Chain A
Amino acid sequence: MSNKSVPGSIDSGGNKQGTFLEGEQSRPHEHNSGSSGRDVEAFRNTYKDDKVVHREKASDWGKVHNDNDYVDYDSSGDSGK
């Protein structure tokens, strides 16, 4: 959830510290409709010394399904639809 983020920064040693909003895409998969593609979504990854100590879906950012030939903005977040 958005109230659980610590402003992220990169320290003098180049290590991530705090929370970073990071986009990721799933591995390609097929649905029961026969359509296939990848989900693209955001995660809040919280780092200590470059190591993820907490990770959660950024549900307020929603998700996008990239269905091979087209992009279906099927999500609920602020950035969806």
Chain B
Amino acid sequence: MIDFESLLNPTAKSIKPSGIRRFFDIAHEMEDVISLSVGEPDFHTPWHIREAGIESLEKGRTRYTPNRGFIRLREAISGFLSRHYQVQYAPESEVLVTVGGSEAIDLCIRSLISPGEEVLIPEPSFVCYVPITQMAGGVPVIIETKAENEFRLTEEELEEKITEKTKLLVLPYPNNPTGAVMRREDLEAVARVVERHNLLVLSDEIYASLTYGNAPHVSFASLPGMRERTVLVNGFSKSHSMTGWRLGYAAGPKEIIGVMTKLHQFAIMSAPTTSQYAAIEAMENGDEDIEYMRGQYDMRRRLILDGLHQMGLSCFEPEGAFYVFPSIQSTGLTSQEFCEKLIYSHHVAVIPGDAFGACGEGFVRISYSYSIKHITEALERMEAFLKEL
């Protein structure tokens, strides 16, 4: 018998599982569940984009691509970033095509962090930053953002956590799970601290194209002096409904992108070829698709926010991504209890807020990446549930 316990890497072993699995198992086994839990678009990839992928297959274009990705795709990405966010990156040396935004995050942290160095991670946020930091030997330092600040990261909160070992700040905005966005002035305040303490920034802007209201998304890299300190991560999953194509990218100073490319070259070789062909079409001719989907999400966002307010749950107005993050503290239940009761009694699945960090306790994440009919039905059930509590 092999004693695997003694063979496995202790750091890898110590990484906490996400803890949501059990919850999804319940939802999976139940009939008639209405889910508001998924974190991916409900739209299909626009047909012209799928067609570009199909065409490349028909023509037998199924070889490796250059490690960094096709130059035509990197040029298209560079053009997209310039057109939408006023940031300039050289396609030859400052853009890397990755397997989803997730790979870009992994590469960035591994390229920058040496053992013992600290990575600042605002929470609630997506679940990958902490384990990736741990695997790199870094020390995750959590910054708890607050509902009264609409889950924005403030200058004070950031300043408070900085030590001599602080190397990197993760900026996960627009935010999953809260839907929070950082406005220009919020980012400027963060930039001052970054400058003062000579930090680097991993700006995860995967939801950048999904912002609502009057203020368009501001890329952290577009702030004066920040481009040299920032690795910008984005992708196709959310903006073009391309989750399963597994394609994202990183843009940043060529020195950092160079090292990331080296790791990428040995671990991945090159991102999926078919997906890259589709992505060229998405970048070159997909802006209208983004606008259409954004408009649809915005209507659903208003509908679900209004529904939650009417049933007496307090919730700030999220202006990004496709999540709302209402407080359920008025029910006297914990997030886990709330979600369990809701799914068992009324068959509605939402995600407990503490899955995204301890400070998410007292909140639940509700996704509005669903049809209007689906959302109205779920809201009716939730309202009935709250009345019976």
Do A and B come from the same complex?
no
